[in-house]
C-alpha cells in the first residue's frame, strides 16, 4: 500500500508540474505574440510619425516659400517639386484658369519636367505648356471648383479623356499607365482672390487614405495663401517703380535705368536714344476742362507710348505732363523714326471729353552726341523745349552746341568766390573745393557736374546755417525746375533759374552768424541786416564775376512778395521776375521743413498749408497751384 500511494502521489505531482509547464508555455506564447503585435504597432506608429514629421517639414518649407520675395512662378515650382519628391507621387502640376479672345480655358501655371511629363507629352502629341484645357460645365473638375472639394479619380482612362478629348486612344492610355505605374489622380481646387486653379497629383496608389487627403487639403490651402502673398508682393514691388496714374515707370526707376543703360552702352560701345516728350497745353486743358480731363489726356499719352514701345524700351512718366522713353541700341535716326511714330499716333488719338491732343518731342543719343548722362538729359530737354517754343506738335533732334553752359558759369563763379575768400572757409577746405571744381572744368565733362555744384552750395550753406541738411540744394533745384516747366519757360530762362538757385542765398555769408542763429525775436536793426542779404550777394559778391549780369536782378528780387510787402524794392505782382517768384516759394518751403534755433521743423503737409494760406499775398495763386503740382510730381 505504501508503495502504491507513493506512486499515486508522484503521478499527481507530475500532472501538476505538467499543468504548470503548460500554463507557463501558454503565457510565454501569449507574451511572444503580444511582443510581435507591439513591435508591429511601434513600427506603424514610427512610420506615421515619420510621415507626420515629413508633412510638417514640407508645410514649413511651403511657409518659407510664402514669406520669401521670390516670383510666384518660382514659389509654385518649388512647392510642387517638394510634393512630388517627398510623398512619392509620380507627378504634380497646377492648372490656372485664363481668358483670351476665344474665351476661358485652363493652362499649366507650373509643372514638373521629368520622365512622366515627357511620356505625357508623347501621349497627347503636344507640349503640356502649349495645351489649352477646356473644362466643361458638367465635368468633375468644374464640380470640384464649384463645391470647393477634393476628388480622387481611380479611372485614369476616363479622366485623361476628360482632359484630352479625342486626342488619345484607350491602348495608348493603358500603355501610359503601365510605363508610369500611374493608378489614380487626386485633384484639389486652388482658389484665391486673383487665382482660380486646380492642383493635380498623379499617384502610384489606387486609393488615397483619409490622412493623405486631409494633408493634401491643408497643402492646397497653403498654396492659396502662398499665391495671395506672392501677388501682394508683386503688387507692392510694382507700385514702388510705377506711376499710379499711367502705370508707366516712375522717375526713380527711370533715373536708375538711365544710369544702368549708360554703363552698358559704354561697355559695349553701343548707342541708345533718349526721347523727352511733353504733352502740349496741359495747363489749358486743366483750367478749361478740369483736372479729370487732364488726367485722361495724360493716360492717353501713356497708352500711345506703351503701344509704340518695344519690350526692351523704358517708358516713364517723370513729371506732370513730361514723359521719357529710353531706347536701348537705337541711334539718332532710329530715335527720330520712333519719336515721329509716337507723335503721329498721339495726334491721331481721340481723348473722350478732350478731343485730339499733341506733344512736343526731343530726341538725343548717347555716345553719338555725348557720353555724359546729365548732358544727354539736358540736350534732350532743350530739343523738346525748342519743339514747344516753335509751334508744338513736332519732333526735334538735339544739337550739341559749343556755347558756354550754365554749369561752366556756375563753376567759374564758385571758384572765384572761394578763391577771393568771400566765404569763411579754412584754406584747406576752400582749396579742396576749388581743386574739385577745376578738375571738372579742365576735363570738360558734365558728368556729375550738377551734383558737384550742389555739394559746393551745401558746404557753403553750412557755414552760415550749421543745421543745413546735405542734399537740400539738389532738391531745391529739382523743385524749382519742375515749377518752371509747368510755366513753359524758355530754355534760356531755365538755365538762368538753375544758376540763380545755386547762388541766390550767397549773400547770407556776409550776415553775422549770431544774427542768423538767434533764438529770440530779431531787433529792427537785425531785420534790416537780414533784408540786405540779396543786395549784398548780388552786388558785392556776384557783380565782379563775369557772366553774372543777367542773374543779379533775379537774385536781388527773390524776397519780393506778390502783394508788394517784400524787400528790397517793394515790387508787386508781375513786376517781380517769375524766376524770382519761383525761388521765393521754393526757399520758403524748404525753410519751413527745416529745423531752426527758434522753432521745430514743419511737416511737408504743414508747410504746404502755410503756403496755401499766403496765396494772393506772398505768392500768386497760380504759382501756389503749380508749386503743389510740381511738388507732387517730384514723388511720382
Span 535-560, pLDDT tens digits: 666 667 777 776 677 788 888 888 89
Mean pLDDT of 484-489: 87
pLDDT of residue 61: 54
Mean pLDDT of 291-316: 93
Task: Give the best-scoring range by mean pLDDT among 272-286, 405-419, 550-564.
Answer: 272-286
C-alpha grid cell, residue 391: 509751334
pLDDT digits (tens, 9 = 90+) for 356-408: 999 999 999 999 998 888 889 888 988 998 898 788 999 999 987 655 678 88
CATH number of the domain located at residue range(s) 251-397 in this protein: 3.30.70.270
How far, in Å, are 147, 183, 286 from residue 189 at the CA level?
9, 21, 49
pLDDT of residue 229: 73
Task: Give the best-scoring range by mean pLDDT among 476-490, 498-512, 545-559, 615-629.
Answer: 615-629
Strand partners, 276: 324, 362
Which helix (DSSP H) or strand (DSSP E) does residue 276 occupy?
Answer: strand 272-279
Q: Do residues 579 and 493 touch, judged by C-beta distance below 8 A? A: yes
Residues of the chain with pLDDT > 70, as a percent, come to 77
Strand partners, 272: 328, 366
Mean pLDDT of 139-147: 87
Residue scoring higher pLDDT (623 or 491): 623
Residue with cell 515650382: 77
Q: Strand, coil or helix: what is 75? A: helix
Residues of the chain with pLDDT > 90, as a percent, come to 26
Residue scoring higher pLDDT (285 or 234): 285
| 406-633 is classed CATH 1.10.3210.10 | yes
Confidence of residue 585 (pLDDT cuts 50, 70, 90): very high
pLDDT of residue 327: 96
Question: What is the reported pTM?
Answer: 0.50
Residue scoring higher pLDDT (131 or 253): 253
- Strand segments (E) across 25-174: 91-100, 103-111, 151-153
Q: What is the DSSP letter of 538?
A: I
**Burial (CB count <10 Å: 0-12, 13-18, 19+), residue 369:** buried
Closest CA to 513 of 531, 526, 528: 526
Mean pLDDT of 187-192: 88
Pick the CATH number of 72-237 from 3.30.450.40, 3.50.50.60, 3.40.190.120, 3.40.50.620: 3.30.450.40
Amino acid at each position: 500500500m505504501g508503495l502504491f500511494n507513493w506512486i499515486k502521489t508522484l503521478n499527481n505531482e507530475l500532472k501538476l508540474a505538467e499543468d504548470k509547464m503548460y500554463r507557463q508555455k501558454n503565457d510565454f506564447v501569449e507574451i511572444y505574440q503580444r511582443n510581435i503585435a507591439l513591435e508591429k504597432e511601434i513600427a506603424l506608429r514610427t512610420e506615421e510619425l515619420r510621415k507626420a514629421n515629413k508633412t510638417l517639414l514640407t508645410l514649413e518649407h511651403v511657409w518659407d516659400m510664402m514669406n520669401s520675395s521670390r516670383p510666384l512662378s518660382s514659389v509654385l515650382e518649388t512647392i510642387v517639386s517638394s510634393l512630388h519628391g517627398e510623398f512619392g507621387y509620380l507627378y504634380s502640376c497646377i492648372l490656372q484658369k485664363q481668358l483670351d479672345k476665344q474665351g476661358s480655358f485652363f493652362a499649366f501655371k507650373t509643372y514638373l519636367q521629368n520622365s512622366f511629363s515627357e511620356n505625357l507629352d508623347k501621349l497627347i502629341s503636344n507640349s503640356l505648356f502649349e495645351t489649352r484645357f477646356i473644362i466643361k460645365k458638367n465635368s468633375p473638375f468644374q464640380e470640384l471648383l464649384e463645391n470647393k472639394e477634393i476628388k480622387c479619380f481611380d479611372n485614369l482612362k476616363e479622366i485623361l479623356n476628360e482632359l484630352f478629348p479625342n486626342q488619345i486612344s484607350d491602348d495608348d492610355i493603358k500603355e501610359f499607365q503601365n510605363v508610369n505605374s500611374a493608378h489614380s489622380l487626386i485633384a484639389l481646387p486652388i482658389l484665391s482672390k486673383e487665382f482660380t486653379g486646380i492642383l493635380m497629383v498623379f499617384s502610384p496608389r489606387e486609393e488615397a487614405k483619409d490622412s493623405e487627403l486631409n494633408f493634401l487639403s491643408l497643402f492646397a490651402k497653403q498654396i492659396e495663401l502662398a499665391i495671395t502673398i506672392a501677388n501682394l508682393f508683386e503688387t507692392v514691388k510694382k507700385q514702388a517703380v510705377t506711376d499710379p496714374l499711367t502705370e508707366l515707370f516712375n522717375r526713380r526707376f527711370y533715373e536708375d535705368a538711365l544710369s544702368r543703360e549708360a554703363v552698358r552702352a559704354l561697355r559695349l560701345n553701343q548707342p541708345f536714344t533718349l526721347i523727352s516728350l511733353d504733352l502740349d497745353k496741359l495747363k489749358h486743358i486743366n483750367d478749361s476742362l478740369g483736372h479729370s480731363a487732364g488726367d485722361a489726356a495724360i493716360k492717353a499719352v501713356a497708352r500711345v507710348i506703351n503701344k509704340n514701345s518695344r519690350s526692351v524700351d523704358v517708358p516713364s512718366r517723370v513729371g506732370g505732363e513730361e514723359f521719357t522713353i529710353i531706347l536701348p541700341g537705337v541711334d539718332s535716326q532710329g530715335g527720330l523714326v520712333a519719336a515721329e511714330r509716337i507723335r503721329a499716333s498721339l495726334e491721331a488719338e481721340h481723348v473722350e471729353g478732350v478731343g485730339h491732343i499733341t506733344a512736343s518731342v526731343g530726341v538725343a543719343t548717347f555716345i553719338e552726341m555725348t557720353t555724359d548722362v546729365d548732358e544727354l538729359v539736358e540736350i534732350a530737354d532743350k530739343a523738346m523745349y525748342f519743339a514747344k517754343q516753335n509751334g508744338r506738335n513736332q519732333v526735334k533732334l538735339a544739337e550739341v552746341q559749343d556755347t558756354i553752359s550754365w554749369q561752366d558759369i556756375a563753376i567759374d563763379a564758385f571758384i572765384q568766390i572761394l578763391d577771393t575768400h568771400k566765404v569763411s572757409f579754412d584754406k584747406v577746405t576752400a582749396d579742396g573745393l576749388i581743386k574739385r571744381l577745376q578738375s571738372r572744368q579742365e576735363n570738360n565733362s558734365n558728368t556729375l557736374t550738377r551734383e558737384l555744384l550742389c555739394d559746393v552750395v551745401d558746404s557753403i550753406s553750412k557755414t552760415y546755417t550749421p543745421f543745413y541738411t546735405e542734399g537740400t540744394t539738389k532738391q531745391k533745384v529739382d523743385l524749382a525746375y519742375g515749377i518752371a516747366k509747368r510755366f513753359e519757360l524758355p530754355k534760356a530762362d531755365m538755365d538762368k533759374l538753375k544758376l540763380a538757385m545755386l547762388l541766390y542765398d550767397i549773400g547770407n555769408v556776409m550776415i553775422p552768424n549770431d544774427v542768423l542763429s538767434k533764438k529770440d525775436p530779431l531787433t529792427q536793426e537785425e531785420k534790416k541786416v537780414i533784408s540786405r542779404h540779396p543786395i549784398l550777394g548780388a552786388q558785392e559778391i556776384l557783380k565782379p564775376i563775369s557772366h553774372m549780369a543777367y542773374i543779379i536782378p533775379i537774385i536781388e528780387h527773390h524776397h519780393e512778395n506778390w502783394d508788394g510787402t517784400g524787400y528790397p524794392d517793394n515790387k508787386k505782382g508781375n513786376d517781380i521776375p517769375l524766376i524770382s517768384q519761383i525761388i521765393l516759394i521754393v526757399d520758403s518751403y524748404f525753410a519751413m521743413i527745416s529745423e531752426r534755433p527758434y522753432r521745430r521743423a514743419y511737416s511737408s503737409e504743414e508747410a504746404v498749408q502755410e503756403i496755401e494760406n499766403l496765396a494772393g499775398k506772398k505768392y500768386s495763386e497760380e504759382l501756389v497751384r503749380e508749386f503743389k503740382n510740381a511738388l507732387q510730381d517730384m514723388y511720382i
